[in-house]
C-alpha cells in the first residue's frame, strides 16, 4: 500500500478549490471527511454561499499550488480556462484570501452567513469589508488586552514578592530588637582586677562593648537596602566572604560570630557612617579576654 503524497491529502478546515458543474473552481472550506468503501469524500462549504457539496477527491484541489490557475474564476474545465463569471467569485476570493492569511476562521465565516441571508448581501464587497474588518479589529484588541493582562500579572507578581520581602525584613528587625532588649537586661560581667593572658579560644567583654556591637549589627540590618544600592563592592563581598563563612547579619546568638562579622565588615565603616572605631573595638574586646 503506497503512502499518499502531501498534495493528495486534505484535513478538516483546510481551504481548497472545489468544482461543480457550471461553476468555476470555487474557494471552499473542508468541513467534514467521509470514508466510503476505501474512498474519501469531502463536504466542502463554499465561501460566501450558504451551501456546500459532498465531493470526491477529483473535484477538489490544493489552494496554494493552484491559486494562479484558478484565481481568475474561469468557468471552463480542469485547466481553468474559459469565460469569467460575475462578481460573486471575486467576493468569495476576497474572503478566501483573508482565511488563507489567518485573519479569519470558519467560525467567523459562519457568523457572516448568519448576518447576511441573501445572496446579494453576502456577495456585497462593502458588507464583506465592513464585517470582517470589525472581526479582525476585535481580535487585535483582544490580543492587546491579553498582552496587557500578562504584563499586569507580572507586575503584580513582582509587587507581591517585594511586599513579602519587606514583611519578612520587618519581622527580622523586630526579632533583632527583641533579642537586643533581652541582651541589655543581662547583668554585666564583673570587672577583673588583674589583666589575664589573652586566649584565642575565649572571649570576654563588657556590656558597653557588647551593646556597641549590637548597635553596629542593627545599623547594618536597618540600612541593608541602601548599602546594596550604594555599594557594588559590598554586594560582591557579602556574597563571597560572609556566605562562605556562614556569617549572617541576622544571627545574634554568638558573640564570636559578631566579632568575626565586625572584622569582615570593616570596609563598610565609611558607607554606614557608624561612629565606631572598629579596629579599636576588636582590640578592646580581645584585650579583655580571660
For residue 151, being part of any structural domain is answered with no
Q: Are 99 and 15 in contact (CB under 8 A)?
A: yes
For residue 28, being part of any structural domain is answered with yes
Q: How far apart are CA 116 and CA 127, in angstroms?
A: 9
Residue (of 225, 203, 217, 222) closest to 261 by Cα position: 217
For residue 147, being part of any structural domain is answered with no
The domain boundary, picked from 77, 106, 138, lies at: 138
Q: What is the pTM of this model?
A: 0.52
Q: In what order do the strands lie in the sheet with 26-36?
A: 52-56, 39-46, 26-36, 15-18, 60-62
> What are the grid coordinates assigned to 162, written together?
517585594
The domain boundary, picked from 104, 138, 172, lies at: 138
Between the alpha carbon of residue 270 and those of residues 9, 81, 182, 210, the distances in Å are 77, 90, 29, 21
Q: How far apart are CA 94 and CA 96, in angstroms?
A: 5
Write out pLDDT tens, residues 171-221.
Answer: 777 777 766 666 655 555 555 544 444 444 444 556 776 677 777 666 665
Write out pLDDT tens, residues 47-74.
Answer: 999 999 999 999 999 999 999 999 999 8
- Tell me how many domains the chain contains: 2
For residue 169, being part of any structural domain is answered with yes
Q: Checking phi first, is residue 28 left (phi over 0); if not, alpha (psi -120 to 50) or beta?
A: beta
Domain residues for the domain of 35 are 6-138
- Kindly report the CATH number assigned to the domain that includes residue 118: 2.30.30.140
Amino acid at each position: 500500500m503506497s503512502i499518499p503524497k502531501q498534495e493528495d491529502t486534505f484535513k478538516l478546515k483546510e481551504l481548497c478549490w472545489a468544482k461543480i458543474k457550471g461553476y468555476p473552481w470555487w474557494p471552499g472550506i473542508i468541513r467534514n471527511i467521509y470514508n466510503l468503501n476505501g474512498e474519501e469524500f469531502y463536504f466542502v462549504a463554499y465561501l460566501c454561499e450558504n451551501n456546500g457539496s459532498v465531493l470526491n477527491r477529483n473535484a477538489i484541489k490544493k489552494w496554494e499550488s493552484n491559486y494562479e490557475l484558478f484565481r481568475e474564476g474561469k468557468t471552463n474545465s480542469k485547466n481553468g480556462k474559459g469565460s469569467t463569471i460575475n462578481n460573486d467569485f471575486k467576493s468569495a476570493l476576497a474572503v478566501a484570501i483573508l482565511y488563507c492569511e489567518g485573519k479569519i476562521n470558519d467560525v467567523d465565516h459562519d457568523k457572516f452567513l448568519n448576518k447576511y441571508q441573501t445572496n446579494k448581501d453576502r456577495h456585497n464587497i462593502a458588507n464583506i469589508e465592513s464585517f470582517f474588518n470589525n472581526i479582525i479589529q476585535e481580535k487585535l484588541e483582544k490580543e492587546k488586552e491579553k498582552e496587557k493582562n500578562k504584563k499586569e500579572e507580572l507586575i503584580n507578581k513582582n509587587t507581591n514578592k517585594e511586599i513579602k520581602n519587606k514583611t519578612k525584613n520587618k519581622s527580622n528587625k523586630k526579632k533583632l530588637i527583641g533579642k537586643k532588649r533581652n541582651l541589655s537586661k543581662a547583668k554585666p560581667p564583673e570587672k577583673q582586677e588583674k589583666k589575664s593572658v589573652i586566649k584565642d579560644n575565649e572571649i570576654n567583654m563588657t556590656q558597653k562593648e557588647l551593646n556597641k556591637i549590637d548597635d553596629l549589627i542593627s545599623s547594618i540590618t536597618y540600612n541593608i537596602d541602601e548599602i546594596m544600592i550604594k555599594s557594588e563592592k559590598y554586594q560582591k563581598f557579602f556574597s563571597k566572604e560572609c556566605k562562605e563563612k556562614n556569617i549572617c547579619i541576622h544571627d545574634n546568638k554568638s558573640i564570636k560570630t559578631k566579632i568575626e562579622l565586625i572584622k569582615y565588615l570593616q570596609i563598610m565603616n565609611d558607607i554606614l557612617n557608624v561612629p565606631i572605631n572598629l579596629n579599636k573595638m576588636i582590640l578592646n574586646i580581645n584585650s579583655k579576654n580571660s
